[in-house]
Amino acid sequence: MDILKALILDDIIDFLDFWFHHFPQRVIRNFFDQIYFWDKNLKVKANLRNLTKPLYGDYTIIGYLIAFPYRVIRIFIGILAYFLIFIFYLIFLLAWLFLPIFLLGYGILFSK
């Protein structure tokens, strides 16, 4: 009987370790991978670095006048995309973490 209790306790500990440690760690790693992927397409970091430089090496007044608003708009769209990705991952992670607590409370309150 003690062996059975030890096996069940070990399984519960493994489940809790997976649910509250390993899976959230994977989700956070996936979040940063998504940010890296989107940064390759949106180029927010590069646009921030080159904010005052003209596009395509066009050092005329028109090149400067076109480049600055274009880069600001791209930076704004990129930061907005990062924010939406962050909100999605935050909601998913919080739902994942509070799901067992909600289910346990629901089972205790509404069990007959």
What is the domain range of residue 75?
A: 2-109
How far apart, in whole angstroms, are the C-alpha atoms of residue 54 and residue 62?
Answer: 9
Q: What is the pTM of this model?
A: 0.80
CB 81 within 8 A of CB 36: no
What is the identity of the amino acid at 25?
Answer: Q
Question: Using an 8 Å Cβ cutoff, are 52 and 68 in contact?
Answer: yes
What is the number of domains present in the chain? 1
Please give the structure tokens belonging to residue 82: 């990062």
- Cβ(41)–Cβ(78) below 8 Å: no
Report which residue type is found at 52. T
Instruction: Render pLDDT for 29-74 as a digit per residue (tens, 0 to 9).
Output: 999 999 999 999 889 999 999 988 888 888 898 988 999 999 999 9
